[in-house]
Amino acid sequence: MIIVTGCNGFIGSNLVVKLNELGIKDIIGVDDLSKKDNLANIAHCELAELLDLKDFENDYLDQNKNIDQVTHIFHQGACSDTMEWDAEYMMKNNYSFSQKLLDLAEKNSVSFIYASSASVYGDGKQFAEERENENPINLYAFSKYLFDQLIRQKINESKIQIVGLRYFNVYGPNEAHKGHMASVAYHLHKQLEKGDEVKLFEGSDGYEAGEQRRDFVYVDDVVKVNLWFKENPEVSGIFNVGTGKSQTFNEVANSVINFHGKGSIQYIPFPKELVGSYQSFTEADISKLRTAGYQDDFLDVQTGVQLYLEKLSNWPKNES
């Protein structure tokens, strides 16, 4: 049995899909079931049980319901809105709940693989998994940073596998429900469905218009990394998950334009509310992941966007 939190969400639902493809159906899915807009992500999936977050907390975290059959917890659930500034809400969802889930895993000798974030690096230029490189610049990043610090204290003495995965800019199917937090590829695709222009920010932090750079990683690659750790229980640690190569927003835009066969780029003013809390450059240092033994290649933007938009174009409108 496997527990997947955030099972209705972006990465969680893609993980469940892949587990099903591998013949694994003994899955306890956990999510906030009051959020109806992401239920479609797992409507076609097979689960042993689908639990609302509150019921899971009550039964498994507070009442210590038996999890003898559980071998792995994939903790993908979180508040991922970088514009959320309600500290109590953020810390309850991203720190306190994660801490309880870790305690559950340790008490029951269950492998614990959780979603961290490249946002912990803030506006830095070094992206190796070292404390000196970390400088969170928004509340979401700070919540992830704090849990990573807890993991660093526990990981060497823990008897279970503990893996933190610092996701860089993930894009791909099942992200429509994320709204303004969906990937730039998704938003540009929707813009070209309605018109002939895609919109990118003007220059910022010394970068020319659209030349801000991120490490864009396709969700299938992220899922593959999660499953690799499942198959390698002797490996613990905090690891970056990105391609290892930054690419520009202009490259993403041009990939979307090439797919549609139309469009031009319009550059819009940089939002005042993002000044000081925006990463203009990210590039995963994946040497630690490689040293751990993960050797699969990662898709570049041109390839990943093509695959993504092909899937979106073949799905019903409410899915795309």
Which residue is it, tokens 């097979």? Answer: 46
Residue with tokens 């060497």: 156
Instruction: Give the distance from CA 151 to its chain's centroid.
Output: 18
Nearest Cα to Cα of residue 242 among 190, 188, 168: 168
Are β-strands 247-248 and 213-214 bridged in parallel, bridged antiparallel, or unpaired? antiparallel
Q: Could you confirm whether 178 is annotated as catalytic?
A: yes
Q: Is 272 a catalytic residue?
A: no
| Residue the block writes with tokens 């000081």 | 276
Identified catalytic residue from 140, 145, 167, 308: 140
CA distance 314 to 302: 19
- Counts for the chain of helices (H) and strands (E), in that order: 10, 13
Backbone angles phi, psi at 287, to 5 degrees: -65, -35
d(CA 154, CA 307): 39
Q: Which of 18, 89, 100, 178 is catalytic?
A: 178
Ramachandran region, residue 168 (left: φ > 0; alpha: ψ -120 to 50; beta: rest): beta
Residues with catalytic function: 140, 178
